[in-house]
Structure 1
Amino acid sequence: MAIAGSNANPAQAAGYPNNERGHMLNFDEERFINIQTGAVGVASGIDQVIRHELAEGAKNLFFLGAGGVMLLTQPALRLLQRKSTFPVHYEYGAELVHADNVQLGRDSIVVMPSLSGTTQEAVTAMEFAKAKGAKVITFTGHGDTPMAQKADYNFTNFAADDTSSEMFYIQTLLVALSILNYRGEISNYDAIVSELQKLPQQLVEVKRGFEERAAVFAAEIKDENYHIITGAGSTWPEAYYYGMCILEEMQWIRTRPVHASDFFHGTLELVEEGVSVISFKGEDETRSLSERVEAFAPRFTNKVHILDTKDLALKDISEETRALVSPVLLATILERVSAHLEVLRNHPLTTRRYYKQIAY
């Protein structure tokens, strides 16, 4: 069983004979801290908007968008579904425009993340929601874009592909926390937000501490052409996202993301010697679902990789907040894996065959 973080020589395994301990491959620390500081810095603004709309009579909330960025809203969605009686919905933008939803209307708050701010399906979905009278909040990486300029409320924080996952996880989490706080469904809003504001610098240290393990992991999986990727709870969206948006889109590697609760209802039959199984484990109530997969898979394949957020050090962060930011932690260490993969495979993460290259 191959566990990410083994004792193999990471520099040698990754092909970097001069890799210095503490050095991070192709990483701009100052840029990352500035972006994530901006992400948590909108907490007050988000809370003001949410409180205003709820006071005005908003009756439900929609997470809406297009593509992989929608997956990054799922931890916030599930938090509200588990902790609040406030109605919350999740819609694929392109499908909503064709099929509609009778719950979407003048009493709706719509939350839409979009890094580029220009994705046509997202723009069309936003226009559809606004035409029905909904109030739209957008989170974007660029202000001079349709998603930023046409929204009722916009929070723009410059980011790029390698920094946006943490940003959107945090910003949509802040939306959920604000709703819970306004409705009296949590009592520690200020404490959680205070802890979230400690994350930017700490995430850099998480990356630094994982760098050698990332090199080993990337070296172990660089030649695989297929992965089963699984997770549960707040880590499931990251499993789906990393498989679809990074390994498939950016590295052209086939993946099979499957929720840990569904693993034993079909996907287990694909596990055999030589098949790569990657399990993401967070710190919420669903850990046992991933552990069941982790007990099964090594019996039939020697390629099992486990990424557990409990292995990652954070200072002065409560267990509750750690559980909330498990997908953030996974995203931040997986960025390090991706940085090594693109070098080892000689396949830049920006290379595309079809996406924004041809009309479709």
Structure 2
Amino acid sequence: MTNVPYILDILDQPNSLLTALEQFDPALLTPLVKAIRNNDFDRILITGMGGSLYASYPAWLTLANAGLPALWVDTAELIHHTPALVTSKTLLWIFSQSGKSAEIISAIDFGRIQKPAVLIATVNDIESPLAKAAQVQIPIHAEVEKTVSTRTYVNSLGVGQLAALALLGRNVEAAHGELIQAASAMETYLANWERRVQQIGNAIGFPKRLATLGRGSSLASTYTGALILGEASKFMATPYQAGEFRHGPLELATPDLTALIFAGPQETRNLNLRLLKDLRGYQVNAFWVGSEKNEWQIEIPRVPSIGLPLVEILPLQLLSIHFAQQIGVEPGHFFRTGKITLAE
């Protein structure tokens, strides 16, 4: 199956990430650092659609945890239901690998939202309408993909977090090195990808219902994991913020449910572990996606916290291969959509 484009893209992610890290230039954001410190912007609004939006979540967390007035809104909701969030003093940061999906084009024609003070584009296609409209471009330097986002997603995660640190005026050298460590760990993990697909498949099987659960930066993996299972393997999974799962969806906890719980950031790991044990007590087939070994572990490499969302997505990508095999479709093959969404 190594001639399948989706699988080839998965295997190329570590190399693609290294290219993006090598090309990242924090100096592009230097002019904005002073403006942020001087409170020249009323808010920083991060937006995007699908995997690009989810990839921006850790960057939003970085800015919000620094005490900045940062918002995270999907572009469809922004342009149709909350356009007043963008003002002439807003720093608007759009994540879009193509730079030309339907909602992004609607946003940057500035018919539905006001033109912001500054537009930043985290984008792969630097000739796209989004890139041309932006005052600041943050390229993710991924080779063109023909199928489900893999390299563009991982590169957006890495570059987005570095850019957020740069906007805070912080030295990104340490974080840059930690992301290089993550790329190396990803390469090692994927070296035996076929064996890992089999191991994950043997553990999870082909469940009737599947939920992905996480907190903090792992919400990127929680939502993107469910997204790619549907997109790449045509298997429906439901994502939940782990705390919210206790507020009603816990009633779904029966033996025909399988749950993948991302261990996630250290601050809330014990809460996630408690949920795992509770679900196991309800006879749910619950698994721990993390580097700490336990009897329910779906293994990921141990990496610094900035690299955690990048390695967390790997077992979900491999699970999508397993599900596609069970369903009888080529992993990553599009039947209804295409690489770029052109209709709202």
Same fold (TM over 0.5): yes
Q: Identity of paired residues, percent?
A: 20
Task: Report the residue type matching 2:210 in the other structure.
Answer: H
Say if 2:141 is the partner of 1:155: no
For 1:6, the equivalent position in structure 2 comes to: none
Contact 2:300 2:315 in 1 (8 A): no
Q: Is 1:68 matched with 2:51?
A: yes
Aligned residues: 323
Please give the residue correspondences for 1:163-312 in structure 2 after superposition, counting only pairs within 5 Å: 163-180=151-168, 182=169, 189-208=172-191, 212-221=195-204, 223-243=206-226, 245-310=227-292, 312=300
SS of the equivalent of 1:197 reads: helix
Unaligned 5+ runs, structure 2: 293-298
Which of residues 21, 24, 29 is equivalent to 1:43?
A: 24
Q: RMSD over aligned Cα, in angstroms?
A: 2.9
Counterpart of 2:185 in structure 1: which amino acid?
Q
Q: Deviations over 1:267-299 (max 9, x none)?
A: 111111121111111243111221121111112
Amino acid paired to 1:163: R
1:140 counterpart (123, 129, 143): 123
State the Cα distance separating 1:28 from its structure 2 match: 6.3
| 1:141 positional shift | 2.5
Aligned-partner residue type, residue 166 of structure 1: V
Structure 2 residue identity aligned to 1:324:
I
Distance 1:90 1:28, change over 3 A: closer
Following TM superposition, by how much is the alpha carbon of 1:111 offset from its aligned partner in structure 2, in angstroms?
1.9
Are the aligned partners of 2:228 and 2:317 in contact in 1 as well (CA < 8 Å)?
no
Secondary structure (helix, strand or coil) at the match of 2:267 reads: coil
Q: Distance in 1 between matches of 2:11 and 2:284?
A: 39
Q: Determine the C-alpha separation between the residues in 1 that align with 2:214 and 2:305.
A: 14
- Output the TM-score relative to the length of structure 1: 0.79
Residue 333 of structure 1 aligns to which amino acid in structure 2? P
Matches of 2:183 and 2:87, distance apart in 1? 36
Which residue identity is paired with 1:70?
A: L
Structure 2 CA distance for partners of 1:29 and 1:164, relative to 1, 3 Å: closer
Q: Compute the displacement of 1:353 (Å).
A: 4.3
Partners of 1:106 and 1:178 in 2: CA distance: 23
Amino acid across the alignment from 1:165: Y
SS in 2 for 1:262: helix
**Do 2:95 and 2:123's aligned partners in 1 also have CA atoms closer than 8 Å?**
yes
1:126 alignment counterpart: 108
Letter of the structure 2 residue corresponding to residue 308 of structure 1: G
Contact 2:218 2:262 in 1 (8 A): yes
Tell me how far 1:108 sits from its aligned partner: 2.7
**What SS does the corresponding residue of 1:112 show, helix, strand or coil?**
strand
Aligned to 1:3: none
- Structure 2 vs 1, CA of residues 126 and 64 (structure 1 numbering), >3 Å: closer, same or farther? farther
Residues 1:94 and 2:89 are matched in the alignment: no
Cα distance in 2 between the residues matched to 1:247 and 1:336: 10
2:325 to 343, 348, 353: 343
Task: Report the Cα offset of residue 50 of structure 1.
Answer: 2.3
Separation in structure 2 between the aligned mates of residue 31 and residue 249 of structure 1, nearest angstrom: 19
In the superposition, the TM-score normalised over structure 2's length comes to 0.82
Quickly say closer, same or farther: Cα 1:239–1:74, change in 2 above 3 A.
same
Residues of 2 paired with 1:103 and 1:26: CA distance?
A: 39
Q: Residue 288 of structure 1 aligns to which amino acid in structure 2?
A: N
Aligned residues of 1:62 and 1:111 also touching (Cα < 8 A): yes
Counterpart-to-counterpart distance in 2, 1:221 and 1:134: 48
Deviates more, 1:160-169 or 1:285-294: 160-169
Distance 1:210 1:296, change over 3 A: farther
- Any stretches of 5+ residues in structure 1 without a counterpart? 1-15, 20-24
Secondary structure of the corresponding residue to residue 349 of structure 1:
coil
